[in-house]
Amino acid sequence: MTVWNVDKNAEAKTMVITAEFKTSITNVWQLWADPRLLERWWGPPGFPATFEHHDLTPGGTITYFMSGPDGVDRFDGTWNVVEVDAPTRLVVEDAIVEDDGTPSDGNSMTRMEIDIEAAGDTTRMILITHFDSLEGMEQAIATGVHEGMKACMSQIDTLLAEVAA
């Protein structure tokens, strides 16, 4: 199990996830820094993400869309890059946008802070997600779950990958 600790605070609308990986800091960083790698894990199976624009510099913008197999459901997202300290720290603010590019929830800027650090012979990733509103949380969940997709599906994938390896 990669997820080491999850700390949730409903009052502050904040979640802190700590995960550890048996690899280098640079390798973990690459999964955020390389849009082709990022899109392989961001969206759930059946609802893949495509990162169109990926400017990983402070003030830069990252845009992506997610679409289902029918091509009808489409979800557009924009991240504003706040801080970049490669390969250890990344801060983005997430604004889910409508088709015309306007934020669908004016005040629901979700802040995501990613810290990557050495932890013995593993690499620890601490991810802090902060929400301004319950609506923002609902939107974040919508991008992660599609058509009743459950976590177990992904666990099956993991098992298959292990068997195949």
Cα 120 to Cα 111: distance, rounded to the nearest angstrom? 28
Rounded least distance, CB 69 to another protein, Å: 18
Say how many residues touch another protein, by CB under 8 A.
47
Q: For CA atoms 20, 22, 24, 29, give the dihedral sign.
A: negative
CB atoms within 10 A of CB 65: 17
56 binds another protein, rule: CB under 8 A: no
Cα 112 to Cα 55: distance, rounded to the nearest angstrom? 16
**Three-state secondary structure call for residue 129:** strand
55 binds another protein, rule: CB under 8 A: no
Pick 98 or 159: Cβ nearer another protein: 159
Of 55, 98, 138, 147, the residue at the interface with another protein (CB under 8 A) is: 138
In this structure, what are the phi and psi dihedrals at residue 6, rounded to the nearest 5 degrees?
-130, 120
Of 17, 33, 82, 109, the residue at the interface with another protein (CB under 8 A) is: 17
Pick 11 or 100: Cβ nearer another protein: 11
Pick 9 or 50: Cβ nearer another protein: 9
Rounded least distance, CB 94 to another protein, Å: 13
CA 146 vs. chain centroid, Å, equals 15
Site for another protein in 93-132 (CB under 8 A): 117, 119-120, 126-127, 129
